[in-house]
Amino acid sequence: MRILLTGAAGMLAAEVVPELKKNGFEVFGYDINQRLPDIQALDITNAQVVFKTVQNIKPEYIFHLAAETDVDRCEKDPDHAFRVNTLGTENVALVCQKLGIKLLYISTAGVFFGDKQDPYTEFDIPNPANVYGVSKLQGEIIVHNLLSQYLIVRAGWMVGGWEIDKKFVYKIVQQLKEGKMELRVVADKFGSPTFTKDFAKNLVALIKTERFGLYHMTNKGAGSRHDIAVKIVEFMGLGDKVKVHPINSAEYPLPAPRARSEMMRSYKLDLIGLNMMPHWEKSLEEYIRLNKNR
Ligand SMILES: NC(=O)c1ccc[n+]([C@@H]2O[C@H](COP(=O)([O-])OP(=O)(O)OC[C@H]3O[C@@H](n4cnc5c(N)ncnc54)[C@H](OP(=O)(O)O)[C@@H]3O)[C@@H](O)[C@H]2O)c1
């Protein structure tokens, strides 16, 4: 099967592309800049170029991963957020509609407001707490309205790629590598870590079923940023040396409001017997074991 993939230079694509190739799919990778030799340049905000590119490649499936994922940038520049995450998705979905192509759209736990005590399932009603969340949710709505053969898969706090990871886990690892003996980590924000390696494997299994629709796909379990940092320290072998102090998010102000909870349960995968995601602690331990001496 021929797959055109947007956001090919990103953190998630770094695991999804090799997993697809391993499973015999032919992948054509695109990103806004041609940063890697086997990736072509494509700006998803340019509707005409998107159409021409897709028409040229004639894929059976588009994996739409490209997005503006900097939550604070989205808050400061909503036009940019909606142009990339919402209209960019509309451009891709419209081509799929016109040419009869299946679409996978990656969405986020950020579509939820965050006041639910239990993890969010696919049957909870979204209500985003920031511009990034609104722009991604509007992308979901467009995909749902324009297409019937689509998958929308919501991921949680993404982890992968070790030093290319710009997110939480590597930020903590970096501080440990710099020799910090005391860390201050937010204890009042909760989420479900999502390891890109596990996600890529489960995603390929889901694609093969052709069970279209909306899914959550995160590692099992959930925790606060503080819980995760404590486990990182433990798995780095520094449990008796480094102290991890819990702090309140009010002590660490950021431009975009963050939901109290971005915990999700992969409930539909559970119901159809396709939840292959390990518990996040198990994946974190393995991730650190494989990478810590790099
Ligand atoms: N990271 C997370 O924690 C997380 C969690 C849940 C869901 N997601 C979703 O998962 C998907 C993949 O995320 P990721 O973590 O791999 O993000 P990422 O590393 O930021 O990758 C996204 C890629 O899209 C590119 N891009 C941005 N604007 C574009 C445009 N106009 N045209 C074409 N490409 C463009 C980015 O380039 P630049 O780097 O140059 O902007 C980047 O290479 C996204 O849809 C995201 O919303 C991410």
Pocket mutation for ligand 1, best pick of 16, 31, 34 (most atoms within 8 Å of C-beta): 31
Tokens at 44, concatenated:
């998803």
Distance 211 CA to ligand 1 centre (A): 25
Domains of the chain are 2-158+193-220+266-270 (3.40.50.720), 166-190+222-263+279-291 (3.90.25.10)
Does the pLDDT of residue 230 top 80, yes or no? Answer: yes
Does the pLDDT of residue 36 top 90, yes or no? Answer: no
Does the pLDDT of residue 35 top 80, yes or no? Answer: no
Distance 245 CA to ligand 1 centre (A): 31
Confidence of residue 274 (pLDDT cuts 50, 70, 90): very high
Confidence of residue 61 (pLDDT cuts 50, 70, 90): very high
Whether the pTM exceeds 0.95: the reply is: yes
Q: Rounded to whole angstroms, how far apart are CA atoms 272 and 259?
A: 29
Does the pLDDT of residue 10 top 80, yes or no? Answer: yes
Digit-coded pLDDT (tens) for 140-181: 999 999 999 999 999 999 999 998 888 899 999 999 999 999
The response to whether residue 262 sits with its C-beta less than 6 Å from ligand 1 reads no
Distance 33 CA to ligand 1 centre (A): 12
The response to whether residue 34 sits with its C-beta less than 6 Å from ligand 1 reads no
The order of strands in the sheet holding 2-6 is 39-41, 26-31, 2-6, 61-64, 102-108, 150-155, 213-216
The response to whether residue 9 sits with its C-beta less than 6 Å from ligand 1 reads yes
Angle between helix 225-235 and helix 168-177 axes, rounded to 10 deg: 40
The response to whether residue 70 sits with its C-beta less than 6 Å from ligand 1 reads no
Q: What is the pLDDT of residue 55?
A: 97
Q: What is the pLDDT of residue 164?
A: 83
Confidence of residue 33 (pLDDT cuts 50, 70, 90): confident
Q: Rounded to whole angstroms, how far apart are CA atoms 214 and 235?
A: 34
> Of all protein residues, whose CA lies closest to atom 33 belonging to ligand 1?
32
Q: Are 13 and 24 in contact (CB under 8 A)?
A: no
Does the pLDDT of residue 289 top 80, yes or no? Answer: yes
The response to whether residue 275 sits with its C-beta less than 6 Å from ligand 1 reads no
Q: Which residue has the higher pLDDT, 16 or 294?
A: 16
Q: Rounded to whole angstroms, how far apart are CA atoms 33 and 8?
A: 10
Q: What is the pLDDT of residue 240?
A: 94
Residues forming a β-bridge with 218: none
Average model confidence (pLDDT) across the chain:
96
Q: What is the pLDDT of residue 252?
A: 83
- What are the backbone dihedrals phi and psi of residue 30, each rounded to the nearest 5 degrees, phi first? -130, 150
Residues forming a β-bridge with 194: 158
Distance 67 CA to ligand 1 centre (A): 4
- Atom in ligand 1 nearest the alpha carbon of residue 157: 3
